[in-house]
Amino acid sequence: MEGKVALITGAGRGIGAATARCLAKKGYAICLNYRNDEESAEQLYQELLETGNKVLKLRADVSLEQEVVAMFEAIDSKLGRLDALVNNAGILLQQMPVEQMTAERINKILVTNVTSQFLCAREAVKRMAYKHGGAGGAIVNVSSAASRLGAAGEYVDYAASKGAIDTFTKGLANEVAGEGIRVNCVRPGVIETTMHADGGEPGRVERVAPLIPLGRGGTADEVARSIAWLLSDEASYVTGNYTDVSGGR
């Protein structure tokens, strides 16, 4: 994979940061996208620079079209190509039943978790597709096991947004297969990241672990390795696929 360029959205922490480290070890030039956490993004940026890889740090709210366009134009000017996109950015809000959810909350979840992936994929396709002079490429959308399980009583809005990503993955994969672009998604289960604190339950992994056949939560590195495989030439005949990284749940 040496010489290839990968953009990872929401790369400042958790699965995004783990994926950046994993791909850097495989020789990718890395574009780190983040929105708010400048400190974490800068720490990761400095860490990856020490690997000798090209690294670009790009601040952008990927739910906003104009910021997505500007981000991709920065990649064009500074790296000149894009081979891989990891659509990882997403949010989780305070746990609550549907009957308490406001339209503002629901729309925030959908725009951040769904619209962002559409916009980033759109710009990636414009650069990867054969018809646009591209050399093909690979996209991995980060969904969630919640798309299958529903997250009742916790965050059905989040689960629904990830269900949309499952459908988006299949549709886009079929749409761009003839353009040399593979599109897959990973569906992490209960993973040890700080995202659970965003939902109001920092210890959720420990609570849910007994329900998981493997008996534990997963790690961001375990998800990152699955993403890296789907981006690699080893997965050259895999597209429109859902890879569950969920411990059997």
* Phi/psi at 11 (5° precision): -90, 0
Beta-bridge mates of residue 31 = 7, 56
Q: How many CA atoms lie within 13 Å of 179's alpha carbon, on the beta-carbon side?
A: 22
CA angle 33, 130, 23 (to 5 degrees): 35
- Name the active-site residue from 28, 45, 155, 158: 158
Q: Are 71 and 34 in contact (CB under 8 A)?
A: no
Q: How far apart are CA 158 and CA 95, in angstroms?
A: 10
- On the CB side of 169, CA atoms within 13 Å amount to 28
Question: Is 45 considered catalytic here?
Answer: no
Residue listed under structure tokens 């429109």: 240
153: left (phi over 0), alpha (psi -120 to 50) or beta: left
Active site residues: 158
